[in-house]
Amino acid sequence: MSLSPARREEYEIPLQPLPGIKLERDLSLGQRLWQQGWLRKSLILLALALIWEAAARYQANDLLLPSFLQTAKAFVEGISSGELLEKVAISLSVLVKGYLIGIVLAFLLTSLAVSTQLGRDLLSTLTSMFNPLPAIALLPLSLLWFGLGENSLIFVLVHSVLWALALNTYAGFLGVSETQRMAGRNYGLKGLRFVLFILIPAALPSILSGLKIGWAFAWRTLIAAELVFGASSGKGGLGWYIFQNRNELYTDKVFAGLVAVILIGLLVENLIFASIERVTVKRWGMQR
């Protein structure tokens, strides 16, 4: 004879309210300020400026290392005179053209790669050949083919952007889950529409990484190329500004040009790319 286990009677334990206890934690003013990313980054920049100023005063040689205050004065003078702004405008106009052309070519190449086997073989072969090739090494060829001027700069910029962006985009496309691919096929998406509506949104974090890398490569290549083109043709943007002032031993202006290069990089990273990430991948929960 089996005995059934004894049943325990159900009962509830009422929870006592906890009046006067705050559910949220009060943060001090310092803690709230420390949560602001812009403030933390500003403090880092301030610390670097103080280190720079201290090193320059210890060096005590303006020709080798001007102080931060001297560089800031030269930077303000370059802005107020319009010379530095003019050089920045020249550089950015060329950069945007080369960058956009590189983006279009990378998109076409990766679209072909995800559509056909021949496209995959083409992308793999071209990236293996040209991605390790420094863009600056193509300067002699660009001079020979396009002569002195903007077209030569655009050529090396396209090379800087194209392969890094194509590799990151294709890697992002390969990482798209089969579930998302099947959903696109169920809606009848094929070819370019499948790439636009399924692959690109799903691979957007990798695409943004490729855009960042391509931007950094293009910006560095442009400044280096302008040093050569400017010295050859007597004109150019920020690179020529740095090169010319170096020849005339205006080291404070050389540093002012370098500061302009750095500031533009910071603005592009923290305003343009950060804004794109905030309204896309972070909003969609694809990135923390």
234, pLDDT greater than 90: no
pLDDT tens by residue, 48-101: 999 988 998 888 888 888 888 999 999 999 899 888 888 888 888 889 999 999
Q: Where are the beta strands (DSSP E) in 234-278?
A: none
pLDDT tens by residue, 2-11: 567 777 778 7
Least confidently predicted of 174-178, 195-199, 228-232, 274-278: 228-232
In angstroms, rounded to a whole number, what is the distance separating the alpha carbons of residues 122 and 109? 8
Percent above pLDDT 70 for the chain: 94
Q: How far is CA 248 from CA 76, 208, 243, 244, 254, in A?
A: 19, 40, 9, 6, 10
Please name the amino acid found at residue 188.
Answer: G
Cα end-to-end span (Å), the chain: 61
The pLDDT of residue 288 is: 67
The pLDDT of residue 96 is: 92
Least confidently predicted of 143-152, 214-223, 253-262, 265-274: 143-152
The pLDDT of residue 115 is: 81
Query: Helix, strand, coil: what percent of the chain each, to 5?
Result: 75, 0, 25
Please name the amino acid found at residue 177.
Answer: S
The pLDDT of residue 278 is: 86
Band the pLDDT of 12: cuts 50, 70, 90.
confident
231, pLDDT greater than 80: no
pTM above 0.95, yes or no: no
25, pLDDT greater than 80: no
Q: How far is CA 274 from CA 37, 228, 261, in A?
A: 12, 32, 19
The pLDDT of residue 101 is: 94
Question: Could you tell me the two tokens for 89?
Answer: 């405008």
Band the pLDDT of 232: cuts 50, 70, 90.
very low
Q: Name all domains of the chain by residue range, CATH numbers in brackets.
A: 80-282 (1.10.3720.10)
Mean pLDDT value across residues 184-192: 80
265, pLDDT greater than 70: yes
